[in-house]
Amino acid sequence: MKNLRNSVQLIGRLGQDPEVRELTTGRKLTTFSVATSDTYTNADGDKIEDTQWHNIVAWGKVGEIASEHLTKGAEVCLQGKLIHRTYENKEGEKRYVSEINLNEMVMLGGKKA
């Protein structure tokens, strides 16, 4: 059960091509977003589609693989760790970010038709 602590699994589609940045330390950081959708019927009988966007952060080999093989629209299954962090923007305002630190991924198919 230890591996279940802070574990996130998603199946969704990429919102944009992965972006790779090299940090001052020399480490490479790959980021992209994934959309997951759920459909439900509201009280009036209308079908509602709810789409959630998730920020993904990938380091090391998994980041390299993501940047080489994933493109906007690709369907992917992800497993990672939920991270919450804060930072100050250029104006000195505190910002809050939730991200998924990617551990593993499986490419499920091509782009959405």
CATH number at residue 73: 2.40.50.140
Nearest to 31 by CA among 101, 85, 108, 95: 101
For the chain, the domain total comes to: 1
pLDDT in tens, 6-52: 999 999 999 999 999 999 998 999 999 999 999 999 999 999 999 99
Residue 61, domain extent? 2-111
Over residues 73-98, the pLDDT tens digits come to: 999 999 999 999 999 999 999 999 99
